[in-house]
Structure 1
Amino acid sequence: MGTDAENTDVWALGSAYDRYMGRWSRLVAEEFVPWLGCADGLQWLDVGCGTGVMSAVVAARCRPRTVVGIDRSERFVRSAREAAPDTTGAAPTRRFVVADATALPVRRQSCDVAASALVLNFLPDPAAAVARMADSVRPGGTVAAYVWDYADGMGFLRRLWDAAAEADPSAAALDEGRRFPLCRPQALYALWAGAGLADISTTAIEVPTVFADFDDLWGPFLAGQGPAPAYVASLPPVERDRLRSLFSAAVPQGADGSITLTARAWAVKGRRPDHPGGGRVSPTR
């Protein structure tokens, strides 16, 4: 029943992604970007930009000199380009290119901020990617990221996987909370420290996830974008219907049919030291 973990991490269609995760990622980005405390007029690098959600928030809030978004998915990059307004004249320049997180298309120490949204757990070598991000920023520059708290903080995913494991115990092996160690602040802190970054801190960002009705919640799981939807889409119709019933019974529904849950992300930031080994690592908070 279902598929193995290697075949579940499907990310390609911008519209399907936005309905599944993009709408919630945007809410997190609205809190994450101000938390970084970056000045206006900086050069930003958005690593794993997806459909351009975080780049749009940076452009709206930080008056950046430039924002370069990179992603391995050509379809995501196309979606990001289509969503970005005309950047001629005085508007900030947003540019999106197809590239890998460990082969960034920027010169060493050419950026002020390198940030990543919801991508680290899906990279084959997150440490190499963070090291490359750190290498891309100038001394004193910021390296930051946020990831979903798949272990405990994603209300609708937690209920989906619990229902899936009830229907089929083998589905538990596909649960992102088990698969992805970087969904916890301690792991993120260690990753940033390992890259030689200083003044490291983490924070939790919690946002409401409000669904109009159960179809609004269930529909994105049928599109195959991401581990859980890929699993749901792989099921035979009878087993999918059983999972739907278990999932529906597990979520709180209001009198109008709406479903209100929460989603938590963990954010991490650090600074490239002015001199090698010259940084100070601050306590996690």
Structure 2
Amino acid sequence: MPDQTRHDAWQAGETDERFMARWSRELAPRFIDWLNPLPGFEWLEVGCGSGALTEALLGLTVPVSVVAVDPSEDFLALARERITNPRASFRKGSAEALPVANTSCDAVGSGLVLDIVPDRAKALAEMRRVVRPRGLICFYVWDYPGGGVQFLRTFWSAATALDPQAADLGEDRRFPFCTQEGLTGLALAAGLTDVTCAPITIPTVFRDFADFWQPFALGTGPAAAYYAGLAPAARESLRQRLQDRLPIAEDGTITLEARAWAVQGISP
């Protein structure tokens, strides 16, 4: 089996903007709409990346403050550049060791992060540590096992047809717990109450095939890392297979969907 960990490279902020972050920015406001939190909360965000959820929190929840944490200096620099709202502050830290005091916030949110945290149980325990009694803990991740991110599922289906070993690198194999049952169970095991899990779907519209294909050449994430390891002839075979099978409209656009599972619960 190939070494899967070498295909994880989510540290380059500007690179990720062209690959996954563009869809994260579409998803975050819909998550806030579903969550419908009360105004006036002091928020902690775990794994802010380039700031998609931070922006949605500031724009839609009327928070007192948002403390956003991420282990990547690249992402923190990009988020600070993009978000100058004085209610937001940014700190370096990991999900398993949050750099904030006990019971210091009203709500903890995390967007598209919990799946790649090495110790998810510890991360949720940290969220419980920092939130006040009866505080809100919420998060969302892509529905990889259900094929919810159609452009990634299409990529891996084409790659596996040409190279059966590629199946071991797909997110559906690597994150099998990202299901309604798996995520609900994770939240309940962390001691959360009133747990709710629901799907959120967004359209992913690409201007043309180049808009779809080029992000895979940027080297961010498992699919792009797999592509980077291919020989030139294999890259061309994969590109051609995708172009032949994608639903390309007469105007060149490619319309697919991406689905995430959103979870919320209350800390005792």
| TM-score of the superposed pair, with normalisation by structure 2 | 0.97
Residue 187 of structure 2 aligns to a residue whose secondary structure is helix
Question: Could you report, residue by residue, the CA deviation over 1:223-280 in whole angstroms, capped at 9, with x for unpaired residues?
Answer: 111111111112111111111111112210000111000000001000012xxxxxxx
8 Å contact from structure 2 (residues 198, 262) kept in 1: yes
Q: Which amino acid aligns with 1:105?
A: P
- The answer to whether structure 1 residue 253 and structure 2 residue 248 are counterparts is yes
Structure 2 counterpart of 1:215, from 185, 210, 233: 210
Q: Which position in structure 1 is the counterpart of 2:189?
A: 194
Residue in structure 1 matched with residue 106 of structure 2 by the alignment = 112
Equivalent position of 2:153 in the other structure? 158
**Residue 81 of structure 1: aligned partner:** 80
Deviation at 1:13, TM superposition (A): 1.8
SS at match of 2:177: helix
Residue number in structure 1 paired with 2:165: 170
CA distance in 1, matches of 2:138, 2:256: 26
Match in the other structure for 1:228: 223
Shift of 1:40: 1.2
Of 130, 140, 146, the match for 1:136: 130
Identity of aligned residues (%): 45
Counterpart of 2:240, as a letter, is S
> What SS is found at the alignment partner of 2:20?
helix
Cα 1:3–1:256, aligned 2, differ >3 Å: closer, same or farther? farther
Paired amino acid for 2:141: V
How far the C-alpha of 1:122 sits from its partner, in A, is: 0.8
Give the letter aligned to residue 192 of structure 1: A
Matched residue type, 2:191: G
Separation in structure 1 between the aligned mates of residue 85 and residue 170 of structure 2, nearest angstrom: 40
What displacement does 1:179 show?
0.7
CA contact (8 A) 2:12 2:75 kept: yes
- Deviation of residue 16 (structure 1)? 1.6
CA RMSD of aligned residues (A): 1.2
- Counterpart contact for 2:144–2:176, Cα < 8 Å: no
Tell me the residue number matched to 2:88: 94
Give the letter for the 2:30 counterpart: E
- Is 1:241 the equivalent of 2:236? yes
CA drift of 1:4 comes to: 2.4
| Aligned-partner SS, 1:181 | coil
How many pairs does the alignment contain?
267
Task: Tell me by how many angstroms 1:34 deviates.
Answer: 2.3
CA contact (8 A) 2:193 2:265 kept: yes
d(CA) in 2 for partners of 1:108 and 1:85?
Answer: 26
Other structure's SS at 2:18 match: helix
Q: Do 1:3 and 1:234's aligned partners in 2 also have CA atoms closer than 8 Å?
A: no
TM superposition shift of 1:182: 2.9
* Alignment of 1:269 onto 2:267: no
In the alignment, which residue of structure 2 is the partner of 1:279? Answer: none
| Residues 86 and 48 of structure 1, relative CA distance in 2, 3 Å threshold | closer
Whole-angstrom CA distance in 2 between matches of 1:207 and 1:35: 13
User: Unaligned 5+ residue runs, structure 2?
Assistant: none
Q: 2:236 and 2:70 mapped to 1: Cα distance? A: 35
Q: TM-score, normalised by structure 1?
A: 0.91
CA distance in 1, matches of 2:235, 2:3: 17
Q: Which amino acid aligns with 2:66?
A: V
Q: Any gaps of 5 or more consecutive residues in structure 1?
A: 88-92, 274-285
Query: CA contact under 8 A between 1:147 and 1:182: conserved in structure 2?
Result: no
Q: Distance in 1 between matches of 2:31 and 2:215?
A: 25
Q: Which residue of 1 aligns with 2:177?
A: 182
